[in-house]
């Protein structure tokens, strides 16, 4: 194991004609609870030890991270990198640190060994408890829609949870293996968020990345469950591209991303219409926004903080949507719909929206799923969408609703 951190931006791009056999999957295999694992379409990171946690105080998060990275560099740590998670509530403590050691490899998708199967991650007799129950969640959606028709706000994202209890200790490494191998081109993570707690998941959504002066954001909003029948799956994808309700929901998010990034960029390209991306369980409307930074002072993390939370995970207007969430959801989101990622002292990094995830503690998993509610939303359809989103993680357990 390497004891000296390596800067992730120095990893060469994967060459699909000469794949690095075993380089990325070796890091996936080496993960143990307490490590920080993050796989993106550009690289695979495995960090050991929290040499320098980022403090929680009154300073802006980006300032605290820059100071922590500077101290690590001054202490002789070469090319320090911060890695971890930021909660939905920007006033709550983040779980970010500069690790004692960082191993870096090309992306999982470039490693042929990622196609190998992995076993089921534990018992089939999970205890399950939805919080809130589907009927209560549907009633919350109906109430939000009624308020939108009265003109109080235009969108809110409402989430529900599924609490799973295992009779045996949780097998986090196998869960991570199954999540990563199910969608190796996505963003897979396992990060400690407190004593005995791990945030684990596989997100399809890049909030923002920065490499040099180039910035990329990939907002997703508007979704439909996939089908195992090929013809029906294609029909659903085509219908999503024409759905007035979903296109409106998506446009709201893209406009918010545009407005947040524009002050930081000399050029910003926003496609006029979305495309589709797919995961194993969902189709999503997707827009890739690209730009050129006006100043090198705007780090990837600073841009992520300017964007977070987007209407894709909160709603609009933001303050009103936050209040509706607090009034409707009977739980604390914690790190769900927050941000996970990495950043270096040069300001480069990748920050991902924390969805399709669970928080693990002892023998308990709390899964999270949300849906964007607009005036045209129907409670039954939004409840079904959250159930479909739960399946990303349930598949990693060999479990079903």
Instruction: Please identify every residue annotated as catalytic.
Output: 155, 205
H-helix or E-strand spanning residue 396:
helix 379-397
Measured CA to CA, the distance from residue 47 to residue 81 in angstroms comes to 10
Label residues 29-41 b or e (16+ Cβ within 10 Å = b). eebebebbbbbbb
Measured CA to CA, the distance from residue 171 to residue 120 in angstroms comes to 9
Looking at the DSSP bridge assignments, the partners of residue 366 are: 163, 359
The alpha carbon of 287 is separated from its chain's Cα centroid by a whole number of angstroms, namely 16
Measured CA to CA, the distance from residue 12 to residue 51 in angstroms comes to 26
Pairing of strands 81-86, 44-53: unpaired
Nearest to 239 by CA among 189, 276, 186, 286: 276
Residue 369: exposure state from Cβ atoms within 10 A (0-12, 13-18, ≥19): buried
What are the start-end ranges of the E strands in 212-259? 214-217, 220-225
Pairing of strands 155-165, 44-53: unpaired
């Amino acid at each position: 194991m390497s004891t000296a951190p390596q800067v992730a931006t120095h990893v060469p791009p994967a060459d699909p004609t000469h794949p690095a056999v075993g380089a990325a999957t070796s890091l996936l295999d080496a993960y143990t609870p307490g490590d920080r694992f993050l796989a993106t379409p550009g690289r695979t990171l495995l960090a050991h030890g929290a040499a320098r946690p980022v403090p929680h105080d009154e300073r802006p998060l980006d300032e605290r991270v820059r100071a922590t990275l500077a101290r690590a560099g001054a202490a002789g740590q070469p090319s320090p990198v911060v890695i971890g998670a930021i909660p939905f509530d920007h006033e709550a403590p983040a779980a970010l640190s500069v690790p004692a050691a960082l191993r870096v490899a090309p992306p999982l998708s470039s490693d042929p060994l990622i196609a190998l199967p992995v076993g089921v991650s534990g018992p089939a007799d999970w205890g399950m408890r939805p919080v809130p129950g589907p009927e209560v969640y549907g009633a919350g959606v109906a109430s939000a829609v009624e308020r939108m028709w009265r003109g109080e706000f235009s969108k809110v994202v409402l989430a529900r949870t599924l609490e799973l209890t295992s009779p045996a200790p949780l097998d986090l490494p196998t869960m991570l293996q199954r999540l990563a191998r199910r969608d190796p081109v996505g963003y897979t993570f396992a990060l400690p968020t407190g004593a005995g707690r791990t945030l684990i998941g596989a997100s399809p959504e890049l909030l923002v990345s920065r490499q040099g002066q180039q910035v990329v954001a990939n907002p997703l909003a508007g979704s439909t469950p996939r089908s195992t029948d090929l013809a029906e799956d294609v029909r659903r994808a085509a219908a999503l591209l024409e759905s007035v309700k979903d296109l409106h929901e998506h446009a709201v998010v893209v406009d918010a991303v545009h407005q947040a990034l524009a002050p930081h960029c000399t050029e910003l390209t926003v496609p006029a219409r979305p495309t589709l991306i797919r995961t194993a369980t969902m189709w999503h409307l997707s827009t890739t926004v690209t730009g050129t930074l006006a100043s090198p002072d705007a780090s990837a993390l600073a841009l992520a903080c300017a964007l977070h939370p987007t209407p894709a995970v909160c709603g609009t207007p933001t303050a009103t949507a936050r209040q509706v969430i607090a009034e409707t959801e009977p739980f604390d989101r914690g790190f769900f719909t927050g941000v996970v990622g990495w950043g270096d002292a040069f300001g480069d990094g990748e920050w991902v929206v924390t969805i399709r995830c669970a928080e693990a503690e002892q023998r308990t998993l709390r899964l999270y799923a949300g849906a964007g509610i607009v005036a045209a939303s129907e409670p039954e359809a939004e409840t079904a969408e959250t159930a479909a989103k739960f399946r990303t993680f349930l598949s990693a357990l060999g479990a079903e609703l």
